[in-house]
Structure 1
Amino acid sequence: MLPKQRQDQIVRALRADGAGGVKVLAGKLGVSEATIRRDLEQLHAEGRLTRVYGGALAVDGGDEPFADVNAIHAEEKDRIARRAAELVTDGESLLLDIGTTALRVAQHLHGRSLTVVTSNLAVLEELQNDEQIELIVLGGFVRRSYRSLVGYLTEESLRQIHVDWLFLGTSGVRPDGRVMDSTMIEVPVKRAMIKAADQVVLLADRTKFPGHGVARVCEPGELSMVVTESGADEATRAQLTEAGVKVVLA
């Protein structure tokens, strides 16, 4: 892989996750940590990211196009999404968060008798023609590049409903089990979703354990379950289990 291609992948990964450590990025791209450090220094000098101790932060220059994010860890996301969809019984109601893993959950719900509530415009497009599913779309301000609805109207809509399940996304899970997010504008919506659900299920691939994020979404005790992969950090998984969270491996 050429240095330019590798550096573009680093920027895409940071925009998807909000932040990334040197070790995690090296593992994703299959290169040495020294190579990643050099790339981060160059990208920092070019203004494409912000270098911090141990890694880097995405530059707030707009959201990564949804399709690009959807292509990252696609197989892992699909396994997690399929396992999540299996948790729901016909006749139940569920909330689907923003993001690409939630879209993949929707893809595994076709033909089932369910009520789906979402602020995810990609989920709307996926399920709008499925007559078996009662589809409820929350109002709000449209973030076009990330295909989501946010803001006061979204939060107010969530205060008027209650569902059986919430499938929640995240930028990362801290070693102590706290759920974080790097997109500040989405955090109030996520918190309102948690209050509107009986069962809160976090969907996160192994790269989110432990992960990064600048804003706290919730404490581990507010989760009912986490669906992840066997490669997710064992110490972080242990913290979640200690907090009473059921950890399911897809």
Structure 2
Amino acid sequence: MLAERRHRLILRALRSGGPAAVTDLSEQLGVSPATVRRDLVKLEEEGLLTRVHGGAVVDEGDQPFAEVAEVAEVAEVAEVAEVRVPEKDAIAAKAASLVEDGQSVLLDIGTTAYRLARQLHGRRITVITGNLVVYEELADDEDIELVLLGGMVRREYRSLVGFLTEDNLRQLHADWLFLGTSGIRPGGQVMDTTVVEVPVKRAMIKAGERVVLLADRAKFPGTGMAKVCGPEELDVVVTNAPVDAATRSSLEEAGVRVVVA
């Protein structure tokens, strides 16, 4: 992982979760404690955080970096939306074939979920989402009953998060949840790089009758510093490439069906 990206993830973790120990950051980022300490020294020199005994804390009033980070994240999202589109469309088509008319579908944030939404036009189904791009895609489709979750808008990710979103999800049930991820560990753990999204994803899992993970080849092992769930909470993984032996074994032991698009 590039140092610049590590720095963004460290600051994001400190902003969302408060003070953190070097050991925790090391585990979340998948790098050595020595690497984290060097990163903290560098970030402190730049005035972006304060090192404390065994860890660091970020100054919440530090707005200049927040603005820079938001611009960087917007660029990342735009870049992700334009890569591996044919692969994501193949995964989306396979996932859409699982849904029957009359069923309810819960769609996560992310570009693959958006590609799936494009496959659902004209279907007599209910779609529930906090993904604003999905909402905009389906808003004019009168065949689809569209439910938009409440919450705080994360403009850079075009999504809704927070306790309002989680509370909405506790009141809902969907036949299918189509979940995105930034990475899948060999043990089958589903990871995410954005800490604030994790509670929403966990609430989605509880609201879904069947949980389908959408993961292109780049997600094995991908990235991610926060665990969303283990393989035991998945029902299906839809991917576009053969899954490595260790990960496939973990998924199969948990009873997860792997579908290759």
TM-score above 0.5 = yes
Q: CA RMSD in A?
A: 2.6
Amino acid at match of 2:110: G
1:207 and 1:232 in contact (8 A); partners too: no
User: Does 1:100 find its partner at 2:133?
Assistant: no
Corresponding residue of 2:250: 239
* Structure of higher CA gyration radius: 2
Q: TM-score, normalized by length of structure 2?
A: 0.72
Corresponding residue of 2:222: 211
Corresponding residue of 1:78: 89
Pick one of 140, 144, 147 that aligns with 1:129: 140
Corresponding residue of 1:194: 205
Q: TM-score, normalized by length of structure 1?
A: 0.75
Pick one of 182, 200, 204 that aligns with 2:193: 182
Gaps of 5+ in 1: 1-9, 19-43, 48-58
User: Does 1:160 find its partner at 2:160?
Assistant: no
Structure 2 distance, partners of 1:125, 1:11, is 35
Residue correspondence of structure 1 range 27-176 to structure 2 within 5 A: 61-62=69-70, 63-65=73-75, 66-176=77-187
In structure 1, the residue corresponding to 2:74 is in which secondary structure? coil
Structure 1 distance, partners of 2:3, 2:91, is 24
Give the superposition deviation at 1:11.
9.8
1:77 and 1:104 in contact (8 A); partners too: yes
Gaps of 5+ in 2: 10-38, 44-64
Structure 2 distance, partners of 1:142, 1:68, is 21
Amino acid at match of 1:64: V
In structure 2, the residue corresponding to 1:132 is in which secondary structure? coil
User: Does 1:221 find its partner at 2:232?
Assistant: yes
Structure 1 distance, partners of 2:197, 2:241, is 28
Structure 1 distance, partners of 2:222, 2:156, is 23
In structure 2, the residue corresponding to 1:216 is in which secondary structure? strand
Amino acid at match of 2:210: Q
Structure 1 distance, partners of 2:100, 2:201, is 23
C-alpha change, 1:11 and 1:98, in structure 2 (3 Å) is: farther
Amino acid at match of 1:144: R
1:225 and 1:245 in contact (8 A); partners too: yes
Structure 2 distance, partners of 1:232, 1:244, is 15
C-alpha change, 1:131 and 1:11, in structure 2 (3 Å) is: farther
